[in-house]
């Protein structure tokens, strides 16, 4: 799922500077699961902001409301009657949710509260590790289920660089070399032939927003 | 003697107001559900849990929104707690459930979630 972390409180405070009535909008999706943007976190942020504002003798109306998912228009409907009562929205959703909210209510400023960090896994309560960068060209099939784009600091596709050092990455002695892990896993599966082929580098440049239409729905959306 | 349910800790007026916003849709949906169970196989959780009827979309919808409607919003914390387990732990709101008569089950589940949220009842993801 998408993982995110909250922005520093100063940045959030700066964003709402000049707006009197603020609605903090939570999201019940991924950001709820990674404990950064759900209903509880909305309440926590409001409480924290209220203390800060009180200390600085600033008066604002801060309210909170959590919708099921900000990345789905259907769930934004319930915000419709509330929006006119506010000068700006703080969104606790991921980048996609913030954009959807801003698009749905274009007359009102929307500010993000969290930085969307990665697509990751839950390591432990409140601890998440990045596993995917949504590059759009999955190579896990030949790398033994270890992503070289995410795990290798250089995102290499054809084996390790010269910097691999004592099983670790040259960037840090705490980061294991992704390509060593790939090699070991494929060796254990007797699949080393998979990485003998040369793969062309990823074309990162000129990326435009990717819209996907699943095959069974192609007819439905064709013009 | 009548037994009166305690609704302490629940703002029943607020619950009622939320339900009233979608009263017509809710009423029609509850009336239209023929318990045909055709929605069941569109739920991956139902299919993945040995077809446990408690994972049927209709079960989840009838035992959340159905209860709220029947009690006209006069529910207690226990009801909401039970509802939370039902509508969050047995439903991921993937919106893929299919009803042959066109009941918008995801919308109904979302309504029940909204009611729960309004009363401070929502999932605790850090729970062990």
Instruction: Look at residues A124, A30, A110, A118 and name the one whose alpha carbon lies nearest to residue A69.
Output: A30
Residues of A in contact with B128 (CB under 8 A): 125
* Structure tokens that stand for A156 in this block: 């290499």
Q: Is the pLDDT of residue B8 over 90?
A: no
ipTM of this complex prediction, to 2 decimal places: 0.78
Residue of A nearest to B88 (CA): A28
- Rounded to a whole number of angstroms, the distance from the CA of A68 to the nearest CA of chain B is 7
Q: Does residue B63 belong to any structural domain of this protein?
A: yes
Please tell me the pTM assigned to this model: 0.85
- In this prediction, residue B5 carries a pLDDT of 64
Q: pLDDT tens-digit profile of B37-64?
A: 999 999 999 999 999 999 999 999 999 9
User: Does residue A223 carry a pLDDT above 80?
Assistant: no
With 80 as the cut, is the pLDDT of residue B1 above it? no
Residue B6 lies inside a defined structural domain of this protein: no
Question: How many domains does chain B fold into?
Answer: 1
Chain A residues with beta carbon closer than 8 angstroms to that of B95: 72, 74
Mean pLDDT of A88-105: 97
Is the pLDDT at A205 greater than 80? The verdict is: no
* Closest in A39, A75, A126 to B126, CB measured: A126
- Using the CB atoms, write b or e for B17-38: b if 16+ within 10 Å: ebbeebeeebeebbeebeeeee
Report the DSSP pairing between strands A88-91 and A110-112: parallel
* Res A184: pLDDT: 96
B113 within domain boundaries: yes
Q: In chain B, which residues have their Cβ closer than 8 Å to the Cβ of A34? A: 125
- For residue B8, tell me if it sits in a domain: no
DSSP B15-48: HHHHHHHTHHHHHHHHHH-----TTGGG-HHHHH
pLDDT tens-digit profile of A112-143? Answer: 999 999 999 998 888 999 999 998 889 999 99
Q: CB-CB: which of B110, B120, B126 is closest to A68?
A: B110
Window 151-170 of A: residues touching B by CB (8 A cutoff) are: none
Question: Is B24 part of a structural domain of the chain?
Answer: no
Task: Give the per-residue pLDDT at B2.
Answer: 58
Q: In 3D, which of A18, A209, A214 has the Cα closest to residue A111?
A: A18
Domain extent at residue B48? 33-118
pLDDT in tens, A179-198: 999 999 999 999 999 888 88
Domains and CATH numbers, chain A: 2-118 (3.40.50.2300), 135-195 (no CATH)
**Confidence (pLDDT) at A64:** 95
pLDDT digits (tens, 9 = 90+) for B63-97: 999 999 999 999 999 999 999 999 999 999 998 89
Q: Where are the alpha helices (DSSP H) in chain B?
A: 12-21, 23-32, 44-48, 57-62, 65-70, 77-84, 105-118
Evaluate whether residue B23 is within a structural domain. no
What pLDDT was estimated at residue A136? 86
Chain centre to alpha carbon of residue A82: 27
Residue of chain A whose alpha carbon sits nearest to that of B109? A68
**Is position B25 within any domain?**
no
State the average pLDDT over residues A59-78: 94
In a domain, B77, yes or no: yes
A126 to chain B: which residues are within 8 Å by CB?
A: 126
């Amino acid at each position: 799922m998408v993982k995110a972390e909250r922005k520093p409180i100063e940045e959030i405070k700066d964003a709402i500077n000049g707006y009197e009535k603020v609605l903090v909008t939570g999201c019940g999706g991924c950001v709820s699961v990674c404990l950064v943007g759900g209903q509880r976190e909305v309440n926590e942020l409001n409480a924290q902001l209220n203390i800060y504002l009180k200390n600085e003798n600033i008066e604002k109306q801060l309210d909170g409301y959590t919708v099921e998912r900000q990345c789905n228009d259907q769930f934004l409907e319930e915000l419709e009657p509330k929006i006119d009562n506010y000068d700006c929205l703080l969104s606790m959703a991921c980048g996609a949710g913030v954009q959807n909210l801003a698009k749905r209510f274009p007359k009102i400023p929307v500010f993000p509260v969290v930085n969307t960090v990665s697509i990751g896994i839950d390591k432990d309560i409140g601890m998440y590790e990045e596993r995917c960068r949504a590059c759009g060209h999955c190579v896990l099939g030949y790398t033994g289920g270890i992503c070289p784009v995410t795990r290798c600091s250089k995102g290499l596709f054809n084996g390790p660089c010269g910097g691999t050092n004592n099983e670790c990455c040259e960037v840090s002695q705490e980061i294991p070399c992704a390509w060593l892990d790939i090699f070991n896993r494929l060796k254990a599966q007797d699949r080393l032939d998979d990485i003998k082929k040369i793969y062309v580098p990823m074309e990162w440049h000129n990326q435009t927003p990717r819209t996907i239409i699943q095959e069974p729905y192609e007819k439905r959306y064709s013009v | 003697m009548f037994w009166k349910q305690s609704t302490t800790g629940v703002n029943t007026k607020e619950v009622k107001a939320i339900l009233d916003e979608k009263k017509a849709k809710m009423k029609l949906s509850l009336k239209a559900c023929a318990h045909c169970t055709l929605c069941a196989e569109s739920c991956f959780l139902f299919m993945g849990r040995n077809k446990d009827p408690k994972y049927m979309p209709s079960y989840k919808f009838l035992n959340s929104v159905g209860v709220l409607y029947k009690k006209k919003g006069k529910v207690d914390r226990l009801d909401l707690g039970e509802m939370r387990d039902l509508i969050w732990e047995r439903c991921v709101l993937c919106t893929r459930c299919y009803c042959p008569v066109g009941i918008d089950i995801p919308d109904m589940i979302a309504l029940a979630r909204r009611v729960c949220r309004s009363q401070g009842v929502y999932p605790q993801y850090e729970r062990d």
